[in-house]
């Protein structure tokens, strides 16, 4: 298949409400052509509405949507250069796999030989040549998924929209389909917009991710940017696990590092990327894997934070163990990667006294709460996966 | 084996009922058709051919019109608010609360030459002074459509509610207009409902007797009227039976075909 690099998408101040609920609230951003772009957020964040606006099933109340510089806001779905892979696949039950894939070309009035050729090519791409004459209810979930992708791609859209396409599959299949999606994206070279609530899915395949919360974009960036440098506590908590600390800046140690005074916790040295001045409130986040844990007290090193604590909980996960360490007033989550044979060691266990340390560069400061969180701070709890660590003061 | 015996015991009463009051009378009717002299050949004369043909095309047109009214209704109603759906269904079922005969006579009153409707239409110059609304073929057709429309709406609505409307979006997404999505995806999707509706409208239509008798004239007689005349006026039971048997076959053949098609679809 020829590489067609096109399909840039622009959202320009797009808003959409259902009654009093603002599903999409003045959203503006751009998706570069050829990207695998994910729109990530908890249920009800407006991500599906955003997708339906691009597909043409919904009209925005205000704002414009452009594809390759051309406005498509007013076009009906059948005149847009996009195709959709629906959440429940929406394969036509009365048609065979072959006829499902051929549907778009039939509508377009293409010649029969051409259709034959294109469908055969697609069946090969999704490796379903043998099931061509089966009906959708005779094939498995993963196969339906691939038919849905083929049925969309055969129309050579400039943008492929994927609405939680893996949600209906079991874990193993999901991981395989994710890789397949990535391969297909490399093959066809068009823009993929991937809607998901699963951050691991989004992280695994995306070039860029937009994190959506209450109809607004919280942050857009590469998976690494979002994970290592989240702008808000919502993003920090939604993508991966983290520890939160509240406090204020008490002094500047150097041009880059500041000393922070914490609630229920000793002072912390942190890289002051936000250039906050003395006295300002900070909301600090430290990822559990950035913290080292040991039974023996390590050598004190410059620009490192070092605290002692007691292990309260241990969750062994094979490749790593997750500890909850009580240090002063805080309960801190720590990951320990097992790069050596664990049975040769005496593993850390409950009530062990341990030392935890992290480099001042590894903490990052957040705006205390994102704009939305101030309004409804309790929503954080609902949206987080189970094992995210909330700040110690909450206990 | 005991389970089988129990099944037979349970179904025996209903089978007995059907055999006694349905199968045996039907066989008797078929048998009577062979009783008189030249009975079978007499019903294939030109007199009946015209009426039989009229009966079939009137019923077919009724079926087609009922389906074309019920299909868009089902399509939109199934997606409407629950409150509106309930209201519409109530309106569809409401006529059944009054007697079928009363409703047909109400039509007669409505369309009567001295009736309000005709007088209003004449006054407004929509129809000529010498146009009659009653006792013609059009009247029979309108009243038949009125009477049997609910039998088309209910099964089509029942299937439409079960229809997955995201398939319409999928078709539109793949380039279809909503109209072509309706024909290419919706209609095949509710095929079973359409088949049921067609059978439910066609069967009572073809046996219609009261409607052409009350609102129709001599030019709009149907086979049902002829059967009644043979029984009540001529007391010619064999010929009435022969006509009834013919009607039976006209009804049974489409059902057999649809059953066959359905079974093939399932397989």
> What structural domains and CATH numbers belong to chain A?
9-228 (3.40.50.300), 233-394 (2.40.50.100)
B182/chain A closest Cα distance in angstroms = 13
Q: Is B175 part of the contact surface with chain A (CB cutoff 8 Å)?
A: yes
Tell whether B188 is within 8 A of chain A (Cβ): yes
Q: What residues in B contact A152, CB-CB < 8 Å? A: 173-174
Tell me the pLDDT tens digit for each residue of B73-102: 999 999 999 999 999 999 999 988 999 999
ipTM attached to this prediction: 0.77
DSSP string, A375-387: H-TTHHHHHS-TT
Mutation target for A interface from B81, B165, B175: give the one with most A CBs within 10 A: B175
In contact, A240 and A199? CB cutoff 8 Å? yes
Q: ∠ CA(A218), CA(A221), CA(A223), 5° rounding?
A: 110
Q: How confident is the model at residue A391 (pLDDT cuts 50, 70, 90)?
A: very low
- What does the mean pLDDT of chain A come to? 86
Question: Is residue A72 within 8 Å of residue A66, measured between CB atoms?
Answer: yes
Report which DSSP code applies to A342.
G
Residue of A77, A83, A92 with shortest CB distance to B167: A92
Query: Distance between CA atoms of A270 and A162, rounded to whole angstroms?
Result: 40
Helix (H) or strand (E) holding A252: strand A243-252
Instruction: Specify the pLDDT at position B266.
Output: 61
Kindly indicate the confidence band of residue B146, based on its pLDDT and cuts at 50, 70 and 90. very high
Q: Is B195 near chain A, with CB under 8 Å?
A: no
Contact of B164 with chain A, judged by CB distance below 8 Å, is answered with yes
CB contacts of A84 in chain B (<8 Å) are 169-170, 173
pTM for the whole thing? 0.79
Nearest CA in chain A to B170: A90
Instruction: Collect all residues with Cβ–Cβ distance below 8 Å to A210 and sequence separation of at least 6.
Output: A29, A37, A38, A39, A40, A217, A219, A220
> Bridge-partner residues for A245, per DSSP?
A284
CB A294 within 8 Å of CB A310:
no
**Cβ neighbours of residue B94 under 8 Å, at least 6 residues apart?**
none
- Which chain B residues have a beta carbon less than 8 Å from that of A151? 174
Contact B173 A84 (CB under 8 A): yes
CB distance B172–A78 less than 8 Å? yes
Q: What is the pLDDT of residues A173-225, one digit of tens each?
A: 888 888 889 998 998 889 999 999 999 889 989 999 999 999 999 999 999 99
CB atoms closer than 10 angstroms to residue A251: 11
- Mean pLDDT of the A230-239 span: 87
Quick check: A78 and B170 CB within 8 A? no
| Interface touch A57/B175, C-beta < 8 Å | no
Residue A163 phi, psi (nearest 5): -95, 95
Q: Which residues of B touch A108 (CB under 8 A)?
A: 175
Helix (H, G, I), strand (E, B), or coil: what is residue A1?
A: coil
By CA distance, what is B177's nearest residue in A?
Answer: A78
Quickly state the pLDDT bin for A367 (edges 50, 70, 90).
Answer: low
Confidence of residue A384 (pLDDT cuts 50, 70, 90): very low
Least confident among A391-395, B3-7, B190-194 = A391-395
**Cβ-contact A104, A150 below 8 angstroms:** no
Helix (H, G, I), strand (E, B) or coil at A192: strand
Among the partner residues A57, A78, A86, nearest to B175 by beta-carbon distance: A78
Flag whether residue B248 sits within 8 Å of chain A, measured between CB atoms.
no
């Amino acid at each position: 298949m020829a590489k067609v690099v096109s399909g840039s998408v622009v959202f320009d101040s797009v808003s959409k409400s259902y009654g009093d609920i603002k599903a999409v609230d003045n959203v503006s951003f751009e998706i570069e052509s050829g990207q695998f772009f994910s729109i990530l957020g908890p249920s009800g964040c407006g991500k599906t509405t955003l997708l339906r606006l691009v597909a043409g099933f919904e009209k925005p109340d205000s704002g414009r949507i452009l594809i390759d510089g051309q406005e498509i806001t007013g076009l009906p779905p059948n005149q847009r250069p996009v195709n959709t892979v629906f959440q429940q696949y929406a394969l036509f039950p009365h048609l065979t796999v072959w006829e499902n894939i051929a549907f778009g070309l039939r509508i377009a009035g293409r010649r029969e030989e051409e259709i034959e050729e294109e469908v055969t090519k697609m069946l090969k791409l999704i490796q379903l040549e043998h099931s061509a004459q089966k009906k959708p209810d005779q094939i498995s979930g993963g196969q339906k998924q691939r038919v849905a992708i083929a049925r969309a791609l055969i129309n050579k859209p400039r943008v492929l929209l994927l609405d939680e396409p893996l949600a209906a599959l079991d874990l193993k299949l999901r991981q395989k389909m994710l890789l397949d999606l990535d391969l297909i994206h490399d093959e066809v070279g068009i823009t993929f917009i991937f809607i998901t609530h699963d951050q691991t899915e989004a992280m695994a395949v995306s070039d860029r991710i937009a994190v959506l919360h209450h109809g607004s974009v919280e942050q857009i960036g590469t998976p690494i940017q979002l994970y290592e440098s989240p702008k808000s506590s919502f993003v920090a908590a939604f993508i991966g696990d983290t520890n939160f600390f509240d406090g204020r800046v008490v002094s500047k140690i150097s041009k880059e590092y500041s000393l922070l005074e914490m609630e229920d916790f000793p002072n912390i040295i942190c890289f002051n990327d936000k250039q906050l001045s003395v006295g300002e409130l900070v909301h600090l986040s430290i990822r559990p894997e950035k913290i080292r844990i040991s039974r023996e007290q390590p050598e004190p090193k410059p620009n490192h934070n070092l605290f002692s604590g007691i292990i309260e909980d241990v969750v062994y996960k094979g490749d790593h163990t997750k500890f909850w360490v009580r240090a002063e007033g805080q309960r801190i989550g720590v990951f320990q990667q097992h790069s050596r044979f664990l049975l040769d060691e005496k593993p850390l266990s409950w009530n062990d006294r341990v030392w935890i340390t992290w480099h001042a560069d590894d903490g990052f400061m957040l705006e205390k709460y994102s704009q939305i969180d101030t309004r409804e701070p309790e929503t954080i709890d609902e949206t987080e996966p189970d094992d995210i660590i909330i700040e110690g003061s909450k206990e | 084996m005991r389970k089988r015996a129990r099944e037979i015991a349970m179904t025996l009463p209903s089978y007995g009922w059907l055999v006694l009051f349905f199968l045996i009378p039907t066989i008797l009717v078929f048998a009577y058709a062979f009783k008189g002299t030249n009975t079978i050949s007499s019903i294939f004369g030109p007199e009946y051919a015209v009426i039989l043909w009229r009966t079939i095309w009137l019923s077919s047109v009724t079926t087609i019109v009922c389906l074309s009214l019920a299909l868009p209704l089902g399509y939109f109603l199934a997606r409407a608010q629950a409150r509106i759906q309930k209201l519409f269904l109530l309106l569809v079922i409401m006529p059944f609360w009054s007697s079928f005969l009363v409703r047909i006579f109400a039509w007669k009153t409505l369309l009567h030459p001295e009736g309000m409707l005709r007088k209003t239409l004449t006054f407004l110059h929509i129809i000529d002074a010498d146009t009659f609304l009653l006792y013609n073929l059009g009247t029979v057709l309108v009243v038949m459509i009125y009477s049997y429309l609910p039998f088309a709406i209910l099964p089509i609505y029942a299937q439409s509610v079960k229809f997955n409307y995201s398939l319409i979006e999928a078709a539109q997404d793949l380039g279809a207009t909503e109209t072509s999505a309706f024909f290419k995806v919706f209609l095949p999707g509710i095929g079973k409902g359409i088949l049921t509706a067609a059978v439910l409208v066609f069967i009572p239509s073809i046996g219609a007797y009261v409607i052409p008798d009350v609102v129709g004239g001599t030019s709009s007689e149907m086979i049902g009227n002829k059967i009644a005349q043979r029984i009540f006026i001529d007391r010619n039971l064999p010929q009435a039976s022969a006509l009834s048997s013919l009607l039976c076959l006209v009804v049974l053949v489409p059902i057999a075909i649809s059953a066959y098609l359905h079974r093939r679809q399932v397989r």
